[in-house]
């Protein structure tokens, strides 16, 4: 049975394929035989990141069907919101963002970039619950419809069966970059679209691969449920069914709550920067690297099988954590005499 993945329309937003780099010094420190980093932080759109792959599918549908305004939602430092705003501007579309989080006086990180893209923003102070964000987004969409606009809602994180195809294709891309499909793929899990796409992609293109998700917000139970729902949606779109049970392996013990940095994550950020010159962020990739270190110590990850770390981007987030990441300054100040 052949899938029709290549027949699904996309619009070019990302610079693909992204490179894969071996991180020898970091692998040695962690105790791994080989560590490869899939550099999806280099997709190019608005600072890069994994969301560009999903948005290529979403915006193809938006353009094809004549929508004139795009809405999405997320936390104050949402990578998805930043990249959606950039994609909309690149394609000449209006964009509205519903964001939530702590009150602020100065915009930093992704929020600053949202403002530079001139996205109209509704900000829910001290409320970044998905239900609240989705409710406000639907309300705004309804308001626009009554004014004669044609709005299109991209769900939080861009996680739909259609968007997840971006990571089915990413794993196909990866399959051409590595010599052996006996690998362990590790990545962060938030809204589950990237994770679901990676699992389905591995079933199609890297059948011996093990896909490991690290939660930044949800419980294992919630992740497994949502990932399987998205996989089923994606299968329907590409007219292909995996005729065996799908294993969803994820770990939910490496975050406190969404958007809060962990000490282990900050240590992992410093380690990657110092050993490889690789920038990770406190909300997503830093926690994934911390998990990789811990799971290797516990022998849950096999030290002798190569690991592929999916770098999903998020660098702008670093610049909203200056108080936590900028304390240990190796800087000698020399004042004028």
Could you list the active site residues? Answer: 78
Residue-wise DSSP of 120-177: EEEEEET---HHHHHHHHHHHHHHHHHTT--EEEPPGGG-SHHHHHHHHHHHHHHHTT
Residue-wise DSSP of 211-277: EEEEESSS-HHHHHHHHHHHHHHHHHHHT----SPPP-EEE--S-SSTT---HHHHHHHHHHHHHH-
* Contact of 97 with 121, CB cutoff 8 Å: yes
Cis-peptide into 274, omega within 30 deg: no
Picking from 32, 37, 102, 101, the residue whose alpha carbon sits closest to that of residue 293 is 32
Q: Which two tokens stand for residue 280?
A: 């990770």
| Interhelix angle 161-175/51-64, nearest 10 degrees | 130
Q: Which two tokens stand for residue 249?
A: 């392996």
Q: Are strands 94-101 and 69-75 parallel, antiparallel or unpaired?
A: parallel
Picking from 285, 292, 297, 271, the residue whose alpha carbon sits closest to that of residue 184 is 292
């Amino acid at each position: 049975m052949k899938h029709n993945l290549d027949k699904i329309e996309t619009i070019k937003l990302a610079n693909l394929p992204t490179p894969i780099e071996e991180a020898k010094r970091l692998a040695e420190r962690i105790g791994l035989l080989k560590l490869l980093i899939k550099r999806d932080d280099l997709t190019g759109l608005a600072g890069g990141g994994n969301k560009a792959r999903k948005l290529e599918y979403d915006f193809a549908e938006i353009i094809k069907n004549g929508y004139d305004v795009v809405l999405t939602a997320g936390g104050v430092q949402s990578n998805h919101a930043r990249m959606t705003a950039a994609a909309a501007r690149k394609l000449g579309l209006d964009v509205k963002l519903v964001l939530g989080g702590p009150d602020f006086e100065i915009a930093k990180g992704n929020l600053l970039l949202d403002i530079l893209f001139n996205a109209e923003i509704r900000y829910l102070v001290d409320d970044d619950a998905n239900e609240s964000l989705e409710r406000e987004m639907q309300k705004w969409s309804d308001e626009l419809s009554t004014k004669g606009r044609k709005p299109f809602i991209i769900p939080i994180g861009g996680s739909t069966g259609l968007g997840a195809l971006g990571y089915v294709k990413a794993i196909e891309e990866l399959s051409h970059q590595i010599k052996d499909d006996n690998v362990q793929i590790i990545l962060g899990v938030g809204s589950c679209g990237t994770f679901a796409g990676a699992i389905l992609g591995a079933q199609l293109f890297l059948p011996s691969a093990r896909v490991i998700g690290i939660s930044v917000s949800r419980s294992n139970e919630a992740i497994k449920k949502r990932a399987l729902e998205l996989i089923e949606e994606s299968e329907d779109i590409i007219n292909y069914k995996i005729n065996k049970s799908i294993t969803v392996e994820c770990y939910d013990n490496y975050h406190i709550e969404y958007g809060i940095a962990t000490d282990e994550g900050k240590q992992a950020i410093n380690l990657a920067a110092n050993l490889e010159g690789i920038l990770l962020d406190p909300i997503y990739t830093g926690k994934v690297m911390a998990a990789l270190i811990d799971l290797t110590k516990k022998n849950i990850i096999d030290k002798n099988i190569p690991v592929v770390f999916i770098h999903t981007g998020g660098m702008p987030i670093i610049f909203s954590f200056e108080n936590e990441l900028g304390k240990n300054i190796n800087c000698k100040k020399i004042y004028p005499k």
